A = this chain, B = another copy of it.
Amino acid sequence: MIIVMQQNIDKQLTKAVEARIKELGYVPHIISGEKRDVVGAVGDERGKMVLQSIESMPGVEKVVPILKPYKLASLEVSPQPSRVELAPGVVIGGEEIIVMAGPCAVESEEQIIQTAHAVKRAGARVLRGGAFKPRTSPYSFQGMEEDGLKLLAAARAETGLPIITEVVNPRDVELVARYADIMQVGARNMQNFALLKMLGQLDKPILLKRGMSATIQEFLMSAEYILAEGNRRVVLCERGIRTFETATRNTLDISAVPVLKEQTHLPVVIDPSHATGHVSLVPSMSYAAVAAGCDGLIVEVHPHPEKAASDGPQSLRPAAFADMMIRLKAFVAAAQRTLPTVD
């Protein structure tokens, strides 16, 4: 932590900051500049949040944090990439690129079973489908809830694909965990800390989506909430951030992939469907995601997008998804990664 003092102030003010740093248990180092002093505070990293309050002391211009506030998520603590087992035999973060696919929302048995077969055939290793839907409008379809979870379980029984589904309420964690192989935290809940803490106590892998306007540092701090409770199976998902551009639903922050890879050992997945909002953009963004170094994709596929209860415009038809998976192979190979072999 660096404390920048104001110009031409009484040296006693700098001395007071120095004393306060010692009082908080850190070692102060004063650099006297030509016009102002700068004070460094050295010590154990995690508690440094309280140093921020020094900004309220007289004579202080600003407090500049130097170190990253997360620990368990950091490469400095775990220098090797984590391989997260999503289900028996399905490991993300290693050589294989894992593709998860399925409808935005589970709508009917026929819809989810048909989609499960189709995405499995095309090479997906995990089936996605929402049973609890966080919708902007109270008048929109809110999901089939437990009935949806049962249909997902039926699709798993039929195809063998593990299932990922979203949980939005701490109250439902236990219920969803009874059915799901992987628990998904949506972008709107990235800072629902009560939910994160409960998921941290679970023995299930968690896919954590980045909030719409979360910085990468905040994203990693949310992962840290889960990790700090003991659950180390966290997968990060970039799904587009909010910007001024309206040509796409969100703006895919593709450089988040290598930035995360420089900072954390956790696997990184891209959601090209929510990032773009338009089905025509999904294939090229999937290729780009793999080229950028991601470990997996999560893609919306629906047999009849024009009748979907939600997110139709961004859902690929099964045939388009299969075509994309074929073209994806070349990019996976160029990235020196593999796609799981389909039986």
Report the Cα distance A92→B271, complex, angstroms.
Answer: 31
Report the Cα distance A342→B77, complex, angstroms.
Answer: 44
- Indicate with 1 or 0, residue by residue over A155-172, a CB within 8 angstroms of chain B CB atoms: 000000000000011110
Contact of A246 among B57, B215, B305, B308 (CB under 8 A): B215
A241 touches B245 (CB 8 A): yes
Report the Cα distance A225→B77, complex, angstroms.
Answer: 43
Q: How far is the CB of A298 from chain B (nearest CB, A)?
A: 16
A182 within 8 A of B: no
B136 touches A56 (CB 8 A): no
Contact of A255 among B38, B49, B189, B276 (CB under 8 A): B276
The total of chain A residues at the interface (CB under 8 A) is 110
Chain A 17-47 interface residues, beta-carbon cutoff 8 Å to B: 20, 29, 31-36, 38, 40, 42-47
Report the Cα distance A245→B291, complex, angstroms.
Answer: 22
Tell whether A288 pairs with B281 under 8 Å between CB atoms, given A136-B218, A242-B244.
no
A253 within 8 A of B: yes
For residue A323, which residues in chain B have a CB less than 8 angstroms away from its CB?
none
Report the nearest B residue to A193, measured CB to CB.
B134
A54 touches B331 (CB 8 A): no
A129 within 8 A of B: no
Tell whether A53 pairs with B306 under 8 Å between CB atoms, given A171-B170, A258-B280, A288-B292.
yes
Q: Which residues of A contact B (CB under 8 A)?
A: 2, 4, 7, 20, 29, 31-36, 38, 40, 42-47, 49-50, 52-57, 63-64, 66-67, 69-71, 76, 134-142, 168-171, 188-189, 191-194, 197, 212-213, 215-218, 221, 224-225, 228, 241-248, 251-259, 262, 275-276, 279-281, 284-285, 287-293, 305-309, 312-313, 315, 330-331, 333-335
10 chain-A/chain-B pairs, Cβ below 8 angstroms: A2-B38, A56-B306, A189-B192, A192-B192, A242-B242, A243-B244, A251-B255, A255-B284, A288-B292, A291-B291
